[in-house]
Amino acid sequence: MKRLDTPVIIIFGITGDLSKRKLLPALHELFRYGILKQGTKIIGISRHQLSQDDVLQIINSSLANKVQDDHAVDLSSAVTALQLNPDNLSDFQRLKSLLESCDSLGACQRLYYMSIPPAAYAPIIKNLSQAGLNTENDRLLLEKPFGYNLESAKSSIDLVSKAFRETQVYRIDHYLAKETAQNLLAFRLHNPIFVPLWNNQHIERVHIRQFESIGIEGRANFYEQTGALRDMIQSHLMQLLALTMMTVPDSMTSSAIHRAKIDFLSSLAVADPKLSIRGQYDGYRQEVNQPNSNVETYVKLQLSSQSKDWQGVQFILEHGKAMHQSIADVNISFKTSHEKRRNSLTFQVQPDETIRLDLLIKEPGLTNNMRHADLKLSYSDVFPNSNKVDAYARVIMDAINGDQSLFASNQEVINNWQILEPLLEAWSDNSHGLIIYPYGSATVQ
């Protein structure tokens, strides 16, 4: 698929929360860095009629204090609105005419960003195809969740595959677009001292966690249908695990990275409900107005690999809402004959992007007392004047460039669901083993 310089970005759901909070600020950032240039067209799709003033108001509210700069003007000039009924093929024909008018040769690269719930994808994807809006210049960007379970994920993949080739489909996992997540591979590739340590002879466990200090924040309908396992574990944390543990390919191409991730995921045994914990923070049932809700807001599970390189290593994934802090990190614990002498390597994804190596050092003075201390690399300290790019800006830029490295492939989605399906089945429609934990907990057990 050839790379084209001037994209047309079509946002389905321009008035939605994701568009306002993430996409429009990311597009503003891409104008600021010169990735998007004058001539870029952004078409905001809505079921309802929007005037240009309505569009400008949406942009201004999403950019907050950035509304007066030149790049906000560039963004405002680029965006036009189009009312479209997802079930009406004739509306897609109007969209096609509008897109063709953007480039007299019909060669504009087109990105269709589905900033809508996945349940609403079907008629849009079908009509894009029937209207001929699925050419080699068209790319489809999809937000998680990628299915509700294994069966629905396969159905979703089948739906998309009938209209678009996999090389045209970009399943977004914005966690992989964060700088520290990207640095996982770069760190392993360019620091050879760690290469011989990346196996079960030296690593005992890998713990990936993502905690949020807030609750569901009014997203009752979404969360009651989703839960913590589907919301964070199945996508973000499984992808981080694969990126951390996969064999670094000789070629860092998108296809090679995906093959390496699939090889690792294929080696994992299915999750054992007996090695998992699920919890729900106290007060959740009142928030969602469901006194008997079994939906989990916390999950901790342990996985294992059948690969000879990783047999015996514990892979722990943990996510919770209403915890004592907001943090996301990957902690790699190295083997030791004495727990107090354990070294660990931590990649912190948020809130501050850092890499820490835990070492034992001698305390100053006349004693030989030893203590743990971090050898710490903070991105903000090492690169104080760097242009930090938002994850969504990176997602859009990579899609423009045709780089699928930081997106989830069909097979990765299927592998993830196959691994986690036993937990869904064990937890379906029952509260057995559900732990009610206090708001602000440090752990759940």
Query: Residue 207: its pLDDT value, please?
Result: 98
Q: What angle do CA 307, 308, 313 make, to 5 degrees?
A: 75
Query: Would residue 432 show up in a list of annotated catalytic residues for this protein?
Result: no
Give just the sign of the alpha carbon dihedral 54, 58, 63, 65. Answer: positive
What is the residue whose two structure tokens read 């903000």?
Answer: 380
- Which segments in the chain show pLDDT lower than 70? 1-5, 65-68, 103-107, 386-387
Beta-bridge partners for 327:
211
**Of 173, 145, 283, residue with least CA distance to 217:** 283
CA 306: distance to chain centroid?
A: 26
The reported pLDDT for the residue numbered 339 is 73
CA distance 266 to 261: 9
Backbone angles phi, psi at 267, to 5 degrees: -85, -15
Amino acid 100: pLDDT: 84
| CA dist 240 → 193, 208, 298, 352 (Å) | 22, 8, 18, 17
Q: Which of 28, 236, 258, 319 is catalytic?
A: 236
pLDDT on residue 3: 41
Residues near 388 by beta carbon (within 8 Å), at least 6 away in sequence: 179, 379
d(CA 279, CA 312): 27
Q: Report the candidate in 332, 328, 299 with the shortest Cα–Cα distance to residue 424.
A: 299
Question: For residue 144, what pLDDT is reported?
Answer: 83
pLDDT on residue 62 = 86
Residue-level pLDDT at 437: 97
158-175: b or e for each residue (b if 16 or more CB lie within 10 Å)? Answer: eebeebbeeebbbbbbbb
Q: Which two three-digit tokens encode residue 77?
A: 């000039």
174 half-sphere exposure, CB direction, 13 A CA radius? 17
Residue 137: half-sphere exposure toward Cβ, Cα within 13 Å: 18
CB burial of residue 362 (10 Å; 0-12, 13-18, 19+): exposed
Q: What is the pLDDT of residue 68?
A: 60
Instruction: Enter the pTM of the model.
Output: 0.89
Q: What integer pLDDT is reported at residue 5 of this predicted model?
A: 58
Decide: helix, strand or coil at residue 301: strand
pLDDT at 289: 95
pLDDT value at position 371?
83
